[in-house]
């Protein structure tokens, strides 16, 4: 199945959050992740898509299968042109919430994946990249 090696979809409506969950589930399963890791990836992605819908109105999710050395994984990138995050370090702290948020946010999502990178410029937008690697099968 080469068609899921990479791709992108728009996040514009509440219904797209469900589509993000479906897409991330499919891509992660096909890459070879087990049910627990698939659920971790889908849950983190669902929160990222929800943030885009709530704070930026719309955005894009891009995905691709990735390789580093002999490791294989998946990458999901969430990009929006919303208000941006003023203090990324603060937003990554445990328990941080903007008040109207639900208090899980970025630190929660980070625990579910191997890597979470945030690039944000106030007034320009935010790009959040999630990566998860398959455990080495020795």
Partner 1 sequence: MNPDNISVIKVRDLLMVTMPPDPDDPTISALQEKVLNSMEKYEAKGVVLDISAVETLDSFFARTVSETAQMVTLMGGRTIISGMQPAVAVAATEIGLTLGNVETALNVDRALDMVNKPKPGTSHD
Least CB distance to partner 1 at residue 95 (A): 9
24-45 in b/e form (b: 16+ CB < 10 A) is bbebbbebebeeebbebbbbbb
Binder of partner 1 out of 30, 39, 64, 129 (CB under 8 A): 39
Task: Please check whether residue 33 is in contact with residue 86, taking contact to mean a CB–CB distance below 8 angstroms.
Answer: no
**Three-state helix/strand/coil letters over 2-69:** CCCCEEEEEECCHHHHHHHHHHHHHHHHHHCCCHHHHHHHHHHHHHHHHHHHHHHCCEEEEEEEEEEC
Binder of partner 1 out of 8, 15, 114, 135 (CB under 8 A): 15
Is 50 among the residues that bind partner 1 (CB under 8 A)?
A: yes
- Please give the size of the binding site for partner 1, defined by CB under 8 A: 26
Rounded CA separation 10/17 (Å): 10
Give whichever of 57 and 124 is closer to partner 1, judged by the CB atom. Answer: 57
Least CB distance to partner 1 at residue 69 (A): 26
Binder of partner 1 out of 12, 22, 71, 135 (CB under 8 A): 22
Binder of partner 1 out of 11, 17, 27, 130 (CB under 8 A): 17
Which residues within the stretch 94-133 sit at the binding site for partner 1 (CB under 8 A)?
102-104, 107-109, 111-112
Is 18 among the residues that bind partner 1 (CB under 8 A)?
A: yes
Task: Please check whether residue 101 is in contact with residue 91, taking contact to mean a CB–CB distance below 8 angstroms.
Answer: no
Which residue in the block uniquely carries the two structure tokens 């937003």?
91
Give whichever of 96 and 122 is closer to partner 1, judged by the CB atom. Answer: 96
């Amino acid at each position: 199945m080469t068609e899921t090696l990479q791709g992108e979809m728009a996040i514009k409506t509440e219904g797209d959050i469900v589509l993000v969950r479906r897409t991330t589930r499919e891509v992660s399963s096909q890459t070879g992740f087990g049910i627990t890791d698939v659920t971790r990836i889908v849950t983190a992605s669902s929160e990222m898509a929800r943030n885009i819908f709530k704070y930026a109105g719309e955005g894009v999710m891009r995905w691709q299968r990735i390789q580093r050395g002999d490791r294989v994984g998946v990458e999901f990138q969430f990009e929006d042109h919303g208000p941006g995050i003023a203090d990324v370090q603060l937003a990554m702290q445990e328990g941080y919430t903007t008040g109207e948020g639900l208090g899980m946010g970025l630190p929660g999502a980070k625990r579910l994946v191997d890597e979470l990178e945030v690039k944000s410029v106030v007034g320009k937008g935010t790009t959040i990249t999630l990566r998860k690697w398959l455990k080495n099968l020795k």
